[in-house]
A and B are shown apart, each in its own frame.
Chain A
Amino acid sequence: MFVAVLFVFTIFAAQLLRIQAFDAAATQAAAMSKRSVKSITPAMRGQILDTNGQVLADSVERYTIAADPQAVPAYTVKVDGQPEVVGVSRAAADLAPLLGMDVSELTTLFTRAKTRYVVVKKDVNPAVWRQARALGIPGISATKTAERIYPTSMALGQIVGFVTPATQKGGGGIELMLDKTLAGSPGTMIAERARDGYIIPGSQRVDTPAVNGRDVRLTIDADLQWYAQNALAKQVTAVGAESGTAVVIEVATGKIRAAASYPTFDPNDLAHADPKAMGNYAFNDAFEPGSTGKLMTMATALEQKVVTPDTGVIVPSRLPRGGERFKDNEPHGVEDMTATGVIAKSSNMGTILIGERVPPPVMDSYYRKFGIGERTPVGFPGESRGQLAAASDWTGSRRYTVLFGQGYSVTAIQQAGVFQTIANKGVRVPPTLVEGTVNDSGTLVPTPAPTPVRVVSEDTAVKLSRMMEEVTGENGTASAARIKGYRVAGKTGTADRYDEKLGRYNGFTASFIGYAPAENPKYVVAVFIQKPSAGMFGGALAGPVFNQVMTYLLERDNTPPSTKSTLDYHVWSKVPLSDSDPKVISDAQARRDGL
C-alpha cells in the first residue's frame, strides 16, 4: 500500500512539474488575459493661451457617472447602527440633489430593465463625484473624462476654434490646427481584477504612460481681440452687413494680434452654433480687395521710377481700356491730380494710367512679393490662398482691373500684410499666429520666426506711406478714420463683391486698412465689411471701426502724438497740367507711348 502511495505521488509530482514549470507559460497567459483589464488614461489637453498668458481654452477633469440597475437595489445604509437595505428610492433621493437631477428621472434610470449600464450624467465635477461615491451606492461608477472650457467664449471662438465634445479632438480653429500638440496621447493601464470587478491591490501597472498635451501660446492679444470683435460686431450689425473682419498685425514682427470675425459662435455651446460662423473670415474668406490693392500698383510704380509722389496725372472723366470705359466712383470732369492725389482720391483711372506703364510680368512679380496668391505660413484650418492669375492671363479688361484691386482675390490677412510691408519700410514679415509651445519644464519654445522679405525700397515705402496720409487728409476718402493728434496712413477700399453662388457680382466689400502714427507705426489695423446693406464706401463703413481699434491701441500704448512730416505732398497739381507734357501722365501720353 505504501508503494502504491509512492507510485501515485511520483506521478503527481511529474504532473506538477509539467503544470507548474514546463507547460506553465500558455496557461499563465490565458489566466492573465482572463483577469486583466485595460483602461485608458485620458491625456489632458493642453491650454491655449494668448500672448500675455491669458487662458483661452482649458481642459478640466470631469466624470461620466453610470449606474448598474441590477446592483442599485442593494443600497444599504446604517439606520440606528444597523444596516438596512433601502434600495432604489433612497439611492435616487440621495443622488438627486448632488447631481441636480429629478428623483423621478433617477428612479427611471435605476429601474431600467435588461441592462447593467446606464449613463446617469456626463461632465460631472470631480468634487460632486467624490460626494456621490462617498454615499456607497452599489453599482454607481464613473469614468474620467475631460471637458473643454473656453473662458473667452464668443470673443475668441473663431480663433481658438472648438473640440468635438465626445472625442475631445480639435474640430476647428487653433484646436484643429495644433491638435497634435494640444491633444497629447492617452495612456493605457493594465490591472488585474477579481471576479466581481474589484481591482486586485498592487496589480495595477502602467502599460503606456499618458502624455499630456502641450500648452500653446498665441500671438493674439485677448483684450485687443475682444475690443476689435466688439467694435466690428456693432458695425456689422449697424450697417446690416453679411459679415466682417478686423485684423491687427504687429508691424515689426508680422504677429497677428487680433483676427476678429463676425458673425461668430460660442465654442462652449456648439449646439447653438451656426456652422457657417465657425470658421474665421480673416483667413478663410477670399474676396477682391478693391482700392486697397492700388497700394501695390503705386508701390511698384514708385519703385520702378514711373512716378514720384508729385508726378502730375491728368484724370479724364472716362477712360476706355480693354473694351471697357472705366470711370471713378464719383463722376467728375477732367482733373489735374498728383500721384498722391490718385491714392488720396482713390482714382481708378489715375491708377490705370500709372499702372499700365509697368509691364504686367513686373507688376505680377511685385504682387507676389507682397504675398498675394500664396497661402500664409499660418496654415489656419480652411485658410484660403486667394487667387492671382499669372501675368500672361491678364488679358482684356483684367489687365487694367487688377491695377485697382479687382480681378484677383485675397484674404483679410494677406491684404493687411501688404500694409504691414509699407509700414515696415518695405520689408514684409509673413504673418504668424502661434507664439510658441510650452515645453515640459514650462518654458516657451518659440515658433521659428518667418524670414522677412524686402519687397520695395525703404525710400519707396516712406514716400508711399506719406502719400497714404492724404487719404485721411481733408481731400481724402477716409476722414472718418482720422485720429486727432496722430498722422494716420491708410487706404479705403470699395470693391464689387463676387458671389460664388450667384456666379456674378453682388454687393460690395467695404474696407479700410491703415496705421498710426504714420511715422512710427506699431500696428496695422485692417477692417473689412462684407456686403453691407446700407452704404458701400470703405471710408464710411470700415473707417469708424478702424478708428476705434487704432485709438484703443494708441491709448493703450501711451503713444506720443505725431510730429509733422518733412514731406509735403499735395492731392491737386499746383500748376495746370498739359496733355503734351511728357512728364505728365495722361491718356494722350499713353497713346504716344503706344500703351
Chain B
Amino acid sequence: MTRSLPIIGRLESPLTTYYLLLGTTVTLVVFGLVMVFSASSVEALLDDQASYAVFVRQLLFAVAGGVAALVALRLGVRWWKRLSFLVLGVAIVLQAAVFSPLGVEVNGNLNWLALGPLQVQPSELAKLGLVLVGALIFANKGPRVASFSHVVLPYVLPVTAVVLALVLAGHDLGTGLVILCIVAAVLAVAGASMSLFVAGTLLGALGVAAMVLTSGNRMSRITNWLSPACQSDPDGYCGQSVHGMYALADGGWWGVGLGASKEKWAWLSEAHNDFIFAIIGEELGLPGTLLILVLFGVLAWACYRLVSRTQDRYVRIASAGIMAWLLGQAIINIGAVIGLFPVVGVPLPLVSSGGSSLVTTLFALGILLSFARNEPGCRALLDARPSMIKRSLAVLPSRSPRRRSR
C-alpha cells in the first residue's frame, strides 16, 4: 500500500503516523468547536444563556482534553501497562455509582454522574479501560490465546460482561454497541480464533434480538426506523431523523454557509450533539460532510499504521481497540444521521459537544500519540528537532549587535 502511490512513498517517514494522528485530531477538534458554537448558539440564546455558553464549556473541555493528551503522550508504554487496571477499576466504580443518588438520567439513559458542577459519563472512561485491560491481558497471554478458555477468561468473562451489564442497566444501548466493537477488535487483533468470532457474533445477535423483542420501546424504534411514514413525518417519533435529513438536504452541494443553519432553530434536537453531522452538512454542504469522512479515514489509516508496524503486542491490541472505539462510534453516529442505521444516540468523537467524551477521546488519542512516538526511529527524529519554542525564536533577530546583518 505504501508503495502504490509515489506521493505516499514520499510522505513516508518514521514521523508519518505521529503527524497524521496529531493533524487529524487537532483538525477534528477545531472543526468540532466551530460547529458546536454554530449549532448551539441559537438554542443557548433561546434558553436565556449567552449564545456562546455551550461553546465556552466545550472549549474548556478541549483544553482539559489537550492537557490530558499531553500527559498521556509523556507517559510511556510501560506506564500504560501499569495503569490499565487502575483505569478500568475507577471506571467500573464510577459506572456503578451511576445507580447511586449521584446518578443522573439524560434522555432516558442513566449513565451520568453529577460531581459538583460537572456531569461526567463514566462509560467513556470504561471504554478506555476495556481497551487497555484487554491489551494488557492478551499481551501477557502470548500464544495461549489459541485456547478458548484463555480468550474468554478473564477478559470476556467477567471483565467485559460486568462493564456491559452496568452500561446496559443504564439503558445506554449506544455505548453498549461501541463496547462490543472494542471487544471484537481487541479479540481479533489478539488472535482469537475465527470460530470464536462466529459464535460470538451469533451470541451477540441473539442477545440484541432478545433485547429488542422483549422491549416494546426498542421494538418500536426498529419498526419506526423501517417505516417510510415515520421517516417522513417531521413531528412524529422519527422527527429527529427527519429534521436531520432536512438539514442535510438544505445544505445540498455547497451548504447554506457557516452559521446560517435553519434546522438549528430548535427544529433538530441534539443539534450540537448527536446530530452535529447534520448541521455540518447543512452549513458546509458536501465538502463539510465529506471532509469529516476523510478526516476519520485518515485517523483510521494512522491507527492501522500503528497496528501493523509495532512489534509490541500491547501497543498493537490497544491501538486496534482505540481505533475500533473511535471509528465504530463515528460510523454508528454518522450512519444514524444519514438514515442507514437506527438512531441509538452516540456522539461523534472529537466533534460533538460533550465534556466526558471529548476529554477521554483526547486522552485516548494522547495514548496513541505516545505509541506513535515510540515507533522505530520516531523518538530519535523528534528529539533531534529543536523545540517549537526554540524554532519560533530562531527566526527572530538576535539581540546581539554583532550578529545583525548589514
Stretch of A10-18, A456-464, A468-476, A503-511 at the chain-chain interface:
A10-18
Is the CB–CB distance between B327 and A12 below 8 Å? no
From 244 to 264 in chain B, residues with beta carbon under 8 angstroms from any chain A beta carbon are: 245-253, 260, 262-263
Does A9 interact with chain B (Cβ within 8 Å)?
yes
Cβ of A411 to closest chain B Cβ, rounded Å: 62
Verify A194–B245 contact, CB threshold 8 A.
no
Contact yes or no, B340 A2, CB < 8 A: no
Bound complex: CA of A13 vs CA of B267, how far in Å?
25
Q: Mark B265-307, 1 if CB is under 8 A from A, else 0.
A: 1110000000000000100011001100100110011011001
Chain B neighbourhood of A35, CB < 8 A: 262, 267
Q: How far is the CB of B235 from chain A (nearest CB, A)?
A: 8
Residues of A within 8 A of B42 (CB): 194
Residue in A5, A11, A21, A34 with the greatest tally of chain B CB atoms within 10 Å? A5
Min C-beta distance of B95 to chain A, whole Å: 27
Tell me what chain A mostly uses at the interface: helix, strand, loop, or mixed. Answer: helix
**Which A residues touch B339, using CB under 8 A?**
15, 19
What per-residue 1/0 map shows which CB atoms of B176-192 lie under 8 Å from chain A?
00000000010010000
Q: How near does chain B come to A10, taking the closest CB pair, in angstroms?
A: 9
Interchain CA distance A34-B243 in the complex, whole Å: 10
**A1-41 interface (Cβ within 8 A of B):** 1-2, 5-6, 8-9, 11-13, 15-17, 19-21, 23-25, 27-28, 30-31, 34-35
Chain B CB within 10 A, most for which of A9, A35, A196: A9
Rounded to whole angstroms, the CA-CA distance of A53 and B267 in the bound complex is 53
Q: Is B334 among interface residues, defined by CB-CB distance under 8 A? A: yes
Contact between B249 and A28, CB atoms less than 8 A apart: yes
Which residues from chain A contact B281 at a C-beta distance below 8 Å?
16, 19-20
The one of A2, A13, A192 in contact with B300, judged by C-beta atoms closer than 8 angstroms, is A2
Q: Which residues of A contact B234 (CB under 8 A)?
A: 30-31, 34
Asked whether B338 is an interface residue with its Cβ less than 8 Å from the other chain, the reply is yes
**Residues from chain B with Cβ under 8 Å of A28 in the complex:** 246, 249-250, 252
Given contacts A12-B293, A196-B46, A200-B265, contact A19 B338 (CB under 8 A): yes
- Smallest CB separation, B171 vs chain A (Å): 26
Contact B263 A13 (CB under 8 A): no
Interface size on B, residues (CB 8 A): 45
Does the CB pair B327–A5 fall under 8 Å?
Answer: yes
Cα of A6 to Cα of B331 in the assembled complex, Å: 11
Give CA–CA (A239, B248) in the complex, Å. 82
Is A203 an interface residue when CB atoms closer than 8 A count as contact? yes
CB distance from B185 to the nearest CB of A (A): 7
Q: With CB as the reference atom, state the residue of chain B lying closest to A196.
A: B266
Tell whether B323 is near chain A: CB-to-CB under 8 Å.
yes
Give bound CA distance, A6 to B334, whole Å: 14
CA gap between A408 and B286 in the complex, in Å: 84
Q: Which residues of A contact B265 (CB under 8 A)?
A: 193-195, 198, 200
Verify A5–B338 contact, CB threshold 8 A. no
CA distance A196 to B269 in the complex (A): 13
Nearest chain B CB to A218 CB, angstrom units: 50
A51 CB to nearest B CB, Å: 54
Could you tell me if A194 and B266 are in contact, using CB atoms closer than 8 angstroms?
yes
Assuming the contacts A31-B263, A35-B262, asked whether A16 and B286 have C-beta atoms less than 8 A apart, the reply is yes
User: Is B145 an interface position by the 8 A CB rule?
Assistant: no
Interface SS, B side: helix
B21 at the interface (CB under 8 A from A): no
A210 to B160, CA, bound (A): 68
Shortest beta-carbon distance, B221 to chain A, in Å?
20
A18 CB to closest chain B CB (Å) equals 9
Whole-angstrom CA separation of A21 from B252 in the bound complex: 5
Distance in angstroms between the alpha carbons of A16 and B247 in the assembled complex: 12
Distance in angstroms between the alpha carbons of A2 and B262 in the assembled complex:
36
Chain A positions within 8 Å of B253 at CB level: 20-21
Q: CA separation between A21 and B324, bound complex, in Å?
A: 30
CB pair A16 B266 closer than 8 Å:
no
Instruction: Decide if B340 touches A194 in the complex (CB within 8 Å).
Output: no
Q: In the assembled complex, which residues on chain B have CB atoms less than 8 Å from the CB atom of A194?
A: 42, 46, 265-267
Task: Tell me, rounded to whole Å, the shortest Cβ–Cβ distance linking A202 to chain B.
Answer: 8
Which residues of B sit under 8 angstroms from A34, Cβ to Cβ? 234, 246, 267
Query: Are A5 and B252 also in contact (CB < 8 A) when A16-B290, A30-B246 are?
Result: no
Determine if A13 and B246 form an interchain contact, defined as CB atoms under 8 angstroms apart.
no
Residue among B243, B249, B323, B334 making CB contact with A24, cutoff 8 Å: B249
- From 327 to 341 in chain B, residues with beta carbon under 8 angstroms from any chain A beta carbon are 327, 331, 334-335, 338-340
How far is B250's CA from A192's CA once the two chains are assembled, in angstroms?
13
Find out whether the CB atom of B245 lies under 8 angstroms from the CB atom of A9.
no
B130 at interface by CB-CB < 8 Å: no
**A residues within 8 A CB of B185?**
1
CA distance A198 to B43 in the complex (A): 12
Q: How far is the CA of A25 from the CA of B246 in the complex (A)?
A: 10
Restricting to B231-249, which residues have a CB under 8 Å from any CB of A? 232, 234, 243, 245-249
> CA separation between A109 and B280, bound complex, in Å?
45
Does residue B320 face the partner (Cβ distance < 8 Å to A)? yes
Other-chain contact of B249, A5, A11, A19, A196 (Cβ < 8 Å):
A19
With a cutoff of 8 Å between Cβ atoms, the chain B residues found around residue A193 in the complex are: 265
A325 CB, min distance to chain B CBs, angstroms: 89
Q: How far is it, in angstroms, between the C-alpha of A87 and the C-alpha of B251 when the chains are bound?
A: 42
Give min CB distance, B299 to chain A, whole Å: 9
Contacts of B285 in A (CB 8 A): 20
Interface centre among B250, B265, B307 (most CB of A within 10 A): B265
A residues in contact with B243, CB < 8 Å:
31
Residues of B within 8 A of A200 (CB): 262, 265
Among A1, A15, A203, the residue within 8 A (CB) of B338 is A15
- Across-interface contacts of B267 in A (CB, < 8 A): 34-35, 194-195
Could you tell me the distance in whole angstroms from the C-beta of B325 to the nearest C-beta in chain A? 12
Q: Contacts A2-B301, A194-B42 known; A12 to B286 CB distance under 8 Å?
A: no
Which residues of B have CB within 8 Å of A8?
Answer: 331, 335
* A25 to B249 CA separation, bound complex (whole angstroms): 7
CA A200 – CA B247 in complex, angstroms?
Answer: 15
20 pairs from A and B in contact (CB 8 Å cutoff):
A1-B188, A1-B320, A1-B323, A1-B324, A12-B293, A12-B335, A12-B338, A12-B340, A15-B340, A24-B249, A27-B245, A27-B248, A27-B249, A28-B249, A31-B234, A31-B246, A31-B262, A195-B267, A196-B266, A200-B262
Q: B residues within 8 Å of A by Cβ?
A: 42, 46, 185, 188, 232, 234, 243, 245-253, 260, 262-263, 265-267, 281, 285-286, 289-290, 293, 296-297, 300-301, 303-304, 307, 320, 323-324, 327, 331, 334-335, 338-340
- A interface residues (Cβ-Cβ under 8 A, vs B): 1-2, 5-6, 8-9, 11-13, 15-17, 19-21, 23-25, 27-28, 30-31, 34-35, 192-196, 198, 200, 202-203
**Contacts A20-B249, A30-B234, A200-B265 supplied; 16 other A-B pairs, CB < 8 Å:** A1-B300, A1-B307, A5-B331, A15-B339, A16-B286, A19-B249, A21-B252, A23-B249, A27-B245, A28-B246, A35-B262, A192-B262, A194-B46, A195-B265, A196-B266, A202-B260
